[in-house]
Amino acid sequence: MAFYLLPIKSLFQPRIISKVFTKCIGPAIGSNLLHRAISTTNPISPEFGFMFDIDGVIVRGTEVLPAAIESFKKLVDSYGKFRVPVIFVTNAGNNLRCQKAQKLTDLLGVKISQEQVVMAHSPLKMFKLFHDKRVLVSGQGPIREISKNLGFTNVCTVEDIRKAFPVLDVVDQKKRENMSRKIDEKFPHIEAVVLMQEPAEWDSALQLIIDVLMTNGKLLNPPAKLPYPHIPLLACNMDLQWMAEAWMPRFGHGAFLVCLEELYKKITGRDMIYTALIGKPSELTMHHADNMCQLHARSLGVQSSVKRIYFVGDNLNTDIFGANLYHRYLTRQRSGRSVAGIAAAITGRGAQTCELEMENEDVNVSAEECHSILVQTGVYNASSDTFSNHSPRDFLPVEGGLREPAFCVPDVLRAVELVFQQEKFY
Ligand SMILES: [Mg+2]
C-alpha cells in the first residue's frame, strides 16, 4: 500500500504545450504511419503492453468484431496465455469488473481476468476520503454493489430520494398524479455525490441531483442562501457519445453531464464544481491503468516493466486524447520534475490536492511512453463529415494536437500487427 499525493487539478486539466504529434488522421492505412520515434530493445521479453478500449474496438453492442477475435489469437500462446501484457480500459460502468471480464472471455474465446479490466469508476477506490460519507450515487445497473466493491459504505440512490421526497420529482405527469405526499423526515443528509453512469430517467436525476447540490444535501432544510461551493461532486465517464449496435453514435454519460452543468449554471448563475473527473481521458485513470498493466506483466513472468504502452481506441476525445495526455504526463515525469512541481507548472497558484490511497499499486513503476492508435470501427469515421470536438468542460481549452493519434489503422487486428512490427515481436 502506498500513499500518493496527487494534485487534483493537474490530473484533470491539460494545458497548451508545443505540438508533438503530426496529423495522421485519414483513411490511409499501414505501418508507415509512424509519427513518433519509438525506441525498442529486447524482443524476447516484451517491454511493451496494450491497452484496449472495448466499445467500437472489440465489440459493437453485443457483437464481437471479427478483427478482435483474430487479434487476440496473436496476443496469446497455444495455451491461451498472454504473450504480452494486455489491459482493457473502458468508460463503461454499469457492470462489475468480474462481469465485464466474463463477457470479454465469452466473446473473445480467451480467458480475461478482472485484474485486466479498468472501468470508468475503478479509480474511485482510491478516494477513501469519501468512502464512509453519505454519498448519492447516480447510474444504472448494480450501482449499490459496484459502490460497495469500491469501498463506499453509506450509499443512497436517486430512487431513494424520490421515494423519500416524492413531491420533488414532478416532471413526469403520470408519476405526479399517482405519487404519495408522504415525506421521510429522517432521511439522512447527503455529504457527496458520485455520478457513476448515465441514469435511466434523466428528468428525475437532473432535478434531484441539482436539488442536492443547491441544499448541501439537506433536502428538507435547505439553507437560506445558495451554498457555494456545493458539496463534493465526483463524475465518471465523460463520453459525449459511444458506439453501440446502431449505425450512429448514441448519448453517453458526458451528454448527461453537459445537461447537468448547464442547468446548474442557468438556475444558480454559478459553475458546477467537479472535485474529480474520472475515466478516460483523465490522467488519473490512465495512471491507474498503467499500474494494472505493470501488474499484468508481472503475473505473466515478464522480467521487465512495461516501458511503452500502446492504447487502441475509437474515440478521439477520450481514447486518443487520454493516451496523448498521459504520454505528456510521462514525459514530464521523466524530465525529473516532481509531482508537486508538475502541479505548480500546470495549475499555477492554488492547485487543489487530495491524498489518495493507492492499494496494491506500485506507484514507483510506470511506463515511459504511451502511444495512441485510432481504429475506424467505432465512433471515429474518416469518411464522415461530422466531427465531434466535445471535451469535458474542466479539460478546456484543449490543444488540437492532443486529439491527433500517433497511428491510424482500420481495426484492432491491424493495430496489433502494427505494434508487433514496430516492436519486432513475432
Ligand atoms: Mg470506444
The answer to whether the Cα torsion of 349, 355, 359, 363 is positive or negative is positive
**How does pLDDT run across 287-296, given as a tens digit for each residue?**
999 999 999 9
Residues having C-beta closer than 5 Å to ion ligand 1: 53, 55-56, 314-315, 378
Centre of ligand 1 from the C-alpha of residue 232, in Å = 28
Which pLDDT score, from 0 to 100, does residue 239 have? 86
Centre of ligand 1 from the C-alpha of residue 44, in Å = 31
86: pLDDT confidence band, cut at 50, 70 and 90? very high
Cell numbers found for residue 18: 508545443
User: Would you call the peptide bond into 229 cis, given omega within 30 degrees of 0 as the criterion?
Assistant: yes
242: pLDDT confidence band, cut at 50, 70 and 90? confident
| Euclidean distance between CA atoms 206 and 259, whole angstroms | 8
Averaged pLDDT of the chain: 82
Centre of ligand 1 from the C-alpha of residue 351, in Å = 31
> Is the pLDDT assigned to residue 157 strictly greater than 80?
yes
| Euclidean distance between CA atoms 164 and 220, whole angstroms | 10
Centre of ligand 1 from the C-alpha of residue 316, in Å = 9
Q: Which CATH number fits domain 123-236+239-278: 3.30.565.10, 1.20.120.530, 3.40.350.10, 3.40.50.1000?
A: 3.40.50.1000
What would the DSSP string read from start to end of 303-336? SS---EEEEEES-IIIIIHHHHHHHHHHHHHHTT
* Three-state secondary structure string covering 24-85: CCCCCCCCCCCCCCCCCCCCCCCCEEEEECCECCCEECCEECHHHHHHHHHHECCCCCECCC
The CATH T-level fold of domain 2-120+279-423 is: Rossmann fold (3.40.50)
Centre of ligand 1 from the C-alpha of residue 321, in Å = 12
147-156's contacts with Cβ under 8 Å and 24+ in sequence apart are 147/194, 147/196, 149/96, 149/97, 150/121, 150/122, 150/124, 150/125, 151/124, 151/125, 152/124, 152/194, 154/188, 156/188, 156/190
For 2-6, 100-104, 394-398, 408-412, which range has the lowest pLDDT when averaged over its residues?
2-6
**How does pLDDT run across 19-78, given as a tens digit for each residue?**
223 233 333 333 334 445 454 444 458 999 999 999 999 999 889 999 999 999 999 999
Centre of ligand 1 from the C-alpha of residue 239, in Å = 9
At 374, give phi and psi (nearest 5°): -95, 130
Domain spans of the chain?
Answer: 2-120+279-423, 123-236+239-278
Closest CA to 371 of 413, 419, 426, 421: 419
> What share of the chain in percent tops pLDDT 90?
61
Centre of ligand 1 from the C-alpha of residue 303, in Å = 31
Exposed/middle/buried for 173, CB within 10 Å: 0-12, 13-18, 19+? exposed
Closest CA to 388 of 252, 277, 290: 252
Cell numbers found for residue 114: 478482472
Centre of ligand 1 from the C-alpha of residue 54, in Å = 6
Q: Please state the pTM of the whole predicted model.
A: 0.78
Centre of ligand 1 from the C-alpha of residue 404, in Å = 16
| Euclidean distance between CA atoms 104 and 120, whole angstroms | 16
**Do 123-236+239-278 and 2-120+279-423 fall under one CATH topology?**
yes
Centre of ligand 1 from the C-alpha of residue 421, in Å = 24
Centre of ligand 1 from the C-alpha of residue 137, in Å = 24
Centre of ligand 1 from the C-alpha of residue 58, in Å = 9
Centre of ligand 1 from the C-alpha of residue 335, in Å = 31
**How does pLDDT run across 332-352, given as a tens digit for each residue?**
877 765 555 444 333 332 334
Centre of ligand 1 from the C-alpha of residue 245, in Å = 12
Which pLDDT score, from 0 to 100, does residue 392 have? 66
> What share of the chain in percent tops pLDDT 70?
78
Helical segments of 137-235, H only: 143-150, 158-164, 173-178, 202-214
Centre of ligand 1 from the C-alpha of residue 106, in Å = 19
Closest CA to 59 of 27, 90, 85: 90
